[in-house]
Amino acid sequence: MKRIRLSEGGGGQETWKLIRELFLKYLGNPILSALEDSSIIKLSSKVAFTTDAFTVKPLFFRGGDIGKLAVAGTVNDLAVMGAKPLYMSVSFIIEEGFSYEELERIVKSMAQTAEEVGVLFVAGDTKVVPSGQADGVFISTSGIGGVIYEGLSCRNVKEGDAIIVSGPIGDHGACVLAQREGFEFGEDFGSDCQPLWDLVEHLLKSGVEVHAMRDPTRGGLSAVLHEWAQSSMVSFLMEEENIPIRQEVLGLCEFLGLEPYHLACEGRVVLAVKREDAEKALEVLRAHPKAKEASLIGYAVKPEGRPAVVLRTPYGTKRFLEPPAGELLPRIC
């Protein structure tokens, strides 16, 4: 089995060969393949810019891998700001001895996900570190998108806004944890990892008045709602029985004592929409294959004191949803 050597990160002939025979083979385009120190790109509108790093363990999980995750995560951060993903950069930190075949599998997955969205890789970098210093491979990305829908912001949530989630929450966090710890949930359960620009564009073109969007990654739904509450100075009243959660996720959380609302998603979007547009938003979302299980889960309300997130249980009682704290699930994204 071919393995990555330190010399392949040294900037010499071995590096050039790795770049040309692997990275450009899958990610190449006229801009990237020029191999300049910087890429010249054309932009004709306001832009959104984001950056992220990915260190998931295991690198390959049911429903995706670190490569697909890196592209989808970057694309989704742009999409929820109303920006069409255009360009990406990628940086690899690879551990000496890492399998060349697995690296190729990751890069190929990145290329396939990028092609689905229509985003181009225009810059990249590769470093190889000694064995034991990187746990396989780490990936850092940045993304640029052209803003086509302005006004989306965590500060724009208004009292009365309907809160909608595009599908079941917690799938990614539960999947990665279960696979890492050896739990078996059957072949039908996996991560929700997927790029969401097509879904977001589908919704925004419908005319629904959207005030805020967020992809609930680390910290899950709870983190999104608490961030919105602090930024917009509103509280949230959520109907617990309306929040879609798969039985596999609930079972894992009950077994390990975890809060499902803290688990990460990598293919869901949380929306705050004008109350009067809630039904239309649900209809539009459910017509798209990536949001067939979209659900209205609650409303933004006037705070009684400090902004808070409250869950109304199926029994009619209420409880505060605490924000995530501590290291919940290491190495999930």
Going along the chain from its start, the domains and CATH numbers come out as 6-147 (3.30.1330.10), 162-320 (3.90.650.10)
pTM of the entire predicted model: 0.96
In this prediction, residue 44 carries a pLDDT of 83
Q: What are phi and psi of 158, to 5 degrees?
A: -120, 150
Structure tokens at 116: 């689905």
Q: Please determine, for residue 165, whether its predicted confidence score (pLDDT) is greater than 80.
A: yes
Give pLDDT tens digits for 144-156: 999 999 999 999 9
* Exposure letters 90-116 (e unless 16+ CB within 10 A, then b): bebbbbbebebebbbebbbbbbebbeb
Predicted confidence band of residue 324 (pLDDT cuts 50, 70, 90): confident
Q: Please determine, for residue 325, whether its predicted confidence score (pLDDT) is greater than 90.
A: no
In this prediction, residue 184 carries a pLDDT of 81
DSSP letters spanning 75-112 = HHHHHTTTEEEEEEEEEEEEETT-BHHHHHHHHHHHHH
Mean predicted lDDT score pLDDT of the chain:
96
Q: Please determine, for residue 1, whether its predicted confidence score (pLDDT) is greater than 90.
A: no
The SS3 assignment for 250 reads helix
In this prediction, residue 50 carries a pLDDT of 98
Predicted confidence band of residue 2 (pLDDT cuts 50, 70, 90): very high
Predicted confidence band of residue 17 (pLDDT cuts 50, 70, 90): very high
